[in-house]
């Protein structure tokens, strides 16, 4: 397998963590795509992913998978435990629902703020600005953090007693928020404890 990505970006982070949690990180060849330099807009890369986004997974038979959730879904079925996307129909539905809420309300909201309301990746990459929309999405991110803190009152992870794709998306979302200057409110103690648990996991070492 090959992964085309830019190490440290939020969505590549999600896939790298999924690979590490599944014990597959060392079985993948990582190919650097220089997004700040515009390499994601070259004809060669757009032939693999017309949306021009990283990461992209290329299987040995030439199959291309883009979108972090699709890549994680594939990886979760390559090997068995631990399961990131659910053990049965009910759990899979709940995890998918929570993952999407965190993805849209935190990760995507922070991304919208970063790209539309700040200089982002610079004028050569950021070709459209909409500060009002970006600030509105910043407010959504903070509201989502409040909801997420409440989800952790009775559990160590967002979907229950073990790590799932929800936690992976949340980890990338909070890291991006820190980078973009959206601080997690200091009174969100449950999130602070969750961050400590996440940072202690061996899989985090792949991000160094």
Is CATH 1.10.3720.10 the right assignment for the domain spanning 89-202? no
Is CATH 3.30.930.10 the right assignment for the domain spanning 2-78? no
* 191 touches 149 (CB < 8 A): yes
Phi, psi for 128 (deg, rounded to 5) = -145, 135
> pTM to 2 decimals?
0.96
pLDDT for the residue 31: 98
What is the rounded CA–CA span in Å between residue 142 and residue 109?
9
Sorted by where each begins, the domain ranges of the chain are 2-78, 89-202
- Residue 6: which residues within 8 A CB-CB, separation 6 or more? 12, 32, 33, 34, 35, 54
Neighbours of 140 (CB within 10 A): 18
pLDDT for the residue 66: 97
Each residue's pLDDT tens digit in the chain (208 positions)? 999 999 999 999 999 999 999 999 999 999 999 999 999 999 999 999 999 999 999 999 999 999 999 999 999 999 988 999 999 999 999 999 999 999 999 999 999 999 999 999 999 899 899 999 999 999 999 999 999 999 999 999 999 999 999 999 999 999 999 999 999 999 999 999 999 999 999 999 999 8
What is the rounded CA–CA span in Å between residue 98 and residue 124?
35
Q: Which helix (H) or strand (E) holds 58?
A: strand 56-58
């Amino acid at each position: 397998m090959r992964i085309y990505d830019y190490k440290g970006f939020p969505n590549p982070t999600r896939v790298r963590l999924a690979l590490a949690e599944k014990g597959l990180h060392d079985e993948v060849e990582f190919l650097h795509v220089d997004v700040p330099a515009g390499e994601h807009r070259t004809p060669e890369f757009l032939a693999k992913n017309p949306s021009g986004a990283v990461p992209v997974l290329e299987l040995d038979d030439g199959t291309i998978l883009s979108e972090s959730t699709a890549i994680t879904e594939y990886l979760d079925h390559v090997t068995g435990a631990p399961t990131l996307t659910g053990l049965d129909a009910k759990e899979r539905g709940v995890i998918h629902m929570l993952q999407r809420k965190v993805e849209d309300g935190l990760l995507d909201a922070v991304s919208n703020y970063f790209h539309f309301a700040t200089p982002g990746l610079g004028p050569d990459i950021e070709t459209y600005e909409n500060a009002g929309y970006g600030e509105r999405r910043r407010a959504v991110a903070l509201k989502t953090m409040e909801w997420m803190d409440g989800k952790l009152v009775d559990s160590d992870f967002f979907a229950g007693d073990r790590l799932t794709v929800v936690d992976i998306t949340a980890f990338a979302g909070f890291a991006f928020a820190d980078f973009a200057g959206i601080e997690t409110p200091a009174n969100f103690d449950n999130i602070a404890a969750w961050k400590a648990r996440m940072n202690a996991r061996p899989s985090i070492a792949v991000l160094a």
